[in-house]
Structure 1
C-alpha cells in the first residue's frame, strides 16, 4: 500500500467538481447491494468513509441525484454526473466518498464488503471482512478500530 500524505484532492470525470480529504478515511468498503450495482453501473460500489470535518468540496457545487432522503442522499457533479459522495441520515459525523476520485489508489482498497447476499457470483475482492448485510453497531465500532490499526501499520499519514 502506498503512503499517503494528507490533504489529498480528487475530482469528477470532467474536473469541474473537486473534493478534498484532510485526514485518512476511517473505513473503506465495497457494497454489493443492487442499488449500488445500479448506481455505479458495476458489480459493486467502493466507499471511503471519512469524518465529515475532514471532508470538503473545494470547487463546484454538487447536486443530489440517485436516492434522495430520508435515509441517505447521493451527490453528483452537475455536469458529468459522476457520483461523488453520499451522506447517510443519522450518521452526520461521516461522509462516504467515492475513493476512485483520488489519485491515491490505495484509498480504493476495500477493508470490508457488505451485502454479499446480493453479490454477483463471479466477484472476488480482497476485503478482510464480509457481511451478508450491513455490520451491526458493535461490529461497526470494532471495524473502525481494526481499520485504524491496519492503516497505522501501513503508514498513512497527515501532511
Structure 2
C-alpha cells in the first residue's frame, strides 16, 4: 500500500487538533513497554518516526500529558485526550507520531518492535526486527537504512 509522497494528514479523535507530515517516516515501530500499554490502553503502541522539520500541527494546541521531560514529552488533544505524538529531547531531530491518527493508516505496519521483555505473551506483530529493549545505538542507522530500502513494503 502506498502513502502519498508529499504530505500526510492526521487528527485526534475529536478533530480539534490536526497535524501533517511532509516527508516519509524514517521507521515504524511497535513498543511493548508497560508505559505504552497503559497510555495506549492496548497491548502496545504504534509509532511512525518522522523528521521533526517535516511535522507541523496545523490546527489546535496539543498539551503535554503522560510523561513530561526531561526524557520524553507526550502530547495530547486537550479536548478528547488522544495521545498524538511524542518528542524525545535526546532525538531532537525526530518526532514519534501515533500513525493510526493519520487519515490513511493502512501502511503503518511496524518494521521493528521494542521492549519485548514487557510484551504480553499472546501478542504477535509482523515486525522484521525485535528487541528486548531498544536497538543498540550501533544498530539504529542500519535499521533506518534497511527501512528506507524496503519502505514500499511498509506503505
Tell me, in whole angstroms, the C-alpha distance in 2 between the residues paired with 1:140 and 1:38: 26
How many pairs does the alignment contain?
Answer: 155
Gapped runs of 5+ residues in structure 2?
none
Q: CA RMSD in A?
A: 1.4
Q: Which residue of 2 aligns with 1:130?
A: 130
Q: Is the 8 A contact 1:36 1:45 kept in 2?
A: yes
Q: What is the aligned partner in structure 1 of residue 75 from structure 2?
A: 75
Partner-residue secondary structure (3-state), 1:23: coil
Deviations 1:74-121 (A, max 9, x none): 000000000000001211100000000012224421000000000000
Matched, 1:141 2:145: no
Secondary structure at the aligned position of 1:19 is classed as strand
8 Å Cα contact 1:68-1:74 kept in structure 2: yes
Would you say the 8 A contact 2:7–2:22 is kept in 1? yes
Look up the SS of the partner of 2:150 in the other structure: helix
Write the mapping of 1:1-159 to structure 2, written as runs, cut at 5 A.
Answer: 1-151=1-151, 153-154=152-153
Q: TM-score under structure 2 normalisation?
A: 0.95
**Long gaps (5+) in structure 1:** none
Q: Deviations over 1:19-70 (max 9, x none)?
A: 1010110000000000000000000000000000110000000000000011
SS of residue matched to 1:37:
helix
What SS is found at the alignment partner of 1:4? Answer: coil
